[in-house]
Chains A and B, each alone.
Chain A
Amino acid sequence: MANLDMILDNINYIGAFTLFIIGLYTVLTHSNLLKRVIGVNIMETAVFLFFVSIGYIKGASAPILDQITGESFYVNPLPSAMILTGIVVAVSITAYGLSLLINLYKEYGTLELDEIISKEEKAND
Chain B
Amino acid sequence: MISNHLPVYILILLLISAVTTPAIKPSSKKFRPKLVGTLTIASLLALTMFIVVWTNGPFYYNFGNWDSVIGIEFFVDEYTSLFVLAVLLISLLIIIFSLEDILHDIPKEKTPHYYTLMLLMVFSMLGMIMTNDLFNLYVFMEILSLTSCGVISIKRNKANIMASFKYLMLGTIGSVSILLGIAMLYMVTGHLNMGATSQTISSVWQMYPRNILISLSFILTGLGLKAAIFPLHVWLPDAHSAAPTPSSAILSGIVIKIYAFSMIKILFRVIGIDIIKAISINEYLTYFAVISIVMGSVFAIGQKDIKRLLAYSSVSQIGYVFLGIGIATEMGLVAGMYHIIAHAMMKSTLFLSAGAVIYRTGIRKVNEFDGLGYELPLTLGAFSIAALGMIGIPGVNGFMSKWYLGLAAFEIGKPIFIIFILISSFLNAVYFLPIVISAFLKESNRREQIMIRDDIPFTMKAPLVVLGAACIVTGLFPNIIVNVIQRALPTFMTFVF
Q: How many residues of A contact B (CB 8 A)?
A: 31
Residues of chain A with a CB closer than 8 A to B153's CB: 100, 103
* Residue from B179, B187, B192 whose CB has the most chain A CB atoms within 10 Å: B179
Among A24, A78, A86, A100, the residue within 8 A (CB) of B179 is A86
- Say if the beta carbon of A22 comes within 8 Å of chain B: no
Q: Judge whether A97 is part of the interface by a CB distance below 8 angstroms.
A: yes
Contact call A107/B135, Cβ cutoff below 8 A? no
Q: Chain A, 38-78, contact with B by CB distance < 8 Å: what is the 0/1 string?
A: 00100110010011001000000000000000000000001
Q: A27-B173, A96-B168 are in contact. Are A54 and B161 (CB under 8 A)?
A: no
A47→B168 contact, CB < 8 A: no
Q: Nearest Cβ in chain B — how far from A15, in angstroms? A: 14
Query: How many residue pairs between the two chains, A and B, have CB atoms under 8 Å in the bound complex?
Result: 72
Contact A27 B161 (CB under 8 A): no
CB of B183 within 8 A of CB of A50, answer yes
Between-chain CB contacts (< 8 Å), 29 pairs? A20-B176, A27-B169, A27-B173, A40-B169, A43-B173, A47-B176, A47-B179, A47-B180, A54-B183, A54-B186, A54-B187, A79-B186, A82-B135, A85-B135, A85-B139, A86-B138, A89-B142, A92-B146, A93-B142, A93-B168, A93-B172, A97-B172, A100-B153, A103-B153, A103-B161, A104-B158, A104-B161, A107-B161, A116-B162
Taking CB atoms, residues of chain B closer than 8 Å to A50 are 180, 183
With CB as the reference atom, state the residue of chain A lying closest to B141. A89
Known contacts A51-B183, A54-B183, A89-B139; is A96 also within 8 Å of B169 by CB?
A: no
Chain B interface helix/strand/loop/mixed: helix
Which B residues between 226 and 262 are near A, CB-CB below 8 angstroms?
A: none
What A residues does B161 contact at CB under 8 A? 100, 103-104, 107
Q: Within 8 Å CB of A89, what residues of B?
A: 139, 142, 146
Contact code string A16-31 (vs B, CB < 8 Å = 1, else 0): 0000100010010000
- A47-B176, A100-B161 known; 12 new pairs, CB 8 Å cut-off, are A20-B176, A27-B169, A43-B172, A47-B183, A82-B192, A89-B146, A93-B146, A93-B172, A96-B149, A97-B168, A103-B153, A104-B162
Indicate if the CB atoms of A40 and B146 lie closer than 8 Å: no
**Most chain B beta-carbon neighbours within 10 Å: one of A36, A51, A78, A104:** A51
Q: Interface size of B by Cβ–Cβ distance < 8 Å?
A: 26
Cβ–Cβ contact B172 & A108, under 8 A: no
A13 smallest CB distance to B (angstroms): 9
Cβ-neighbour of B176 out of A40, A54, A104, A107 (below 8 A): A40
Please tell me if the beta carbons of A100 and B142 are within 8 angstroms of each other in the complex: no
Please give, as numbers and ranges, the residues of chain B lying within 8 Å of A93 by CB-CB distance: 142, 145-146, 168, 172
Do the beta carbons of B186 and A100 come within 8 Å of each other? no
Please give, as numbers and ranges, the residues of chain B lying within 8 Å of A101 by CB-CB distance.
165
Q: Which of B172, B187, B192 is close to A40, meaning CB atoms less than 8 Å apart?
A: B172
Report B120-152 CB contacts with A as 1/0, cut-off 8 Å. Answer: 000000000000000100110010011001100
